[in-house]
């Protein structure tokens, strides 16, 4: 038995974490990717950036749909603190600086998603709140040097040391923080046809 027997999901993402989450949830999919420049208008409210980028990625990957029963899934995650977005750090110094800002504070993780087929499109977001314990400079430097979180929004991954040793509270879902609100994706896919 398949969870979604009449639907073929196409994940348009190179993120191994998003693929892992779908696999763990038992949602069958194939991966097809397209490059899209991730830019958004500067006046975009911070809570709307991730869904805007997910929709932008979906429109840029629309051509990847090959059959009528295929549904495209794209996603984008951002970390927000004090109304500022912390994306993927450019280098070691930026990763360390970002983690210093997040330490001892609560930040917001928004993962925007877009589901799209030949007939319809739906854009939605998962929102989670993550509270970090304080971190010493030595801990931050160790984490950055050992885990090299340069491809992760906010310079951390919840499934790595920071998430395991330095998060004191989560409101929302763990998968959303990891990069995909699987619960929301699944519920929408169930109602897709």
Task: Give the active site residues.
Answer: 76
The separation between CA 61 and the C-alpha centre of its own chain, rounded to angstroms, equals 17
Q: Show the tokens assigned to 190.
A: 């169930």
In 3D space, the residue among 78, 64, 57, 49 whose CA is nearest the CA of residue 152 turns out to be 78
Helix boundaries (H) for the chain: 16-24, 46-61, 92-102, 137-147, 161-165, 174-178, 182-190
Q: Is 40 helix (H, G, I), strand (E, B) or coil?
A: coil
């Amino acid at each position: 038995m398949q969870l979604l027997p009449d639907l073929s999901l196409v994940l348009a993402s190179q993120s191994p974490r998003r693929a892992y989450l779908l696999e763990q949830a038992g949602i069958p999919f194939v991966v097809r990717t397209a490059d899209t420049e991730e830019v958004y208008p500067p006046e975009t409210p911070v809570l709307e950036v991730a869904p805007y980028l997910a929709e932008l990625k979906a429109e840029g990957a629309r051509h990847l749909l090959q059959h009528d029963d295929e549904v495209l899934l794209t996603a984008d995650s951002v970390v927000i603190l004090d109304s500022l977005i912390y994306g993927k750090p450019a280098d070691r110094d930026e990763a360390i600086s970002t983690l210093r800002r997040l330490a001892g504070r609560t930040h917001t993780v928004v993962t925007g998603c877009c589901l799209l087929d030949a007939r319809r499109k739906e854009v939605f977001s998962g929102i989670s709140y993550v509270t970090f314990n304080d971190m010493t400079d030595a801990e931050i430097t160790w984490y950055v040097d050992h885990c090299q979180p340069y491809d992760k929004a906010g310079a951390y991954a919840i499934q790595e040391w920071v998430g395991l040793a330095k998060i004191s509270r989560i409101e929302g879902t763990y998968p959303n923080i990891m990069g995909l609100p699987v619960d929301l994706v699944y519920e929408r896919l169930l109602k897709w046809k």
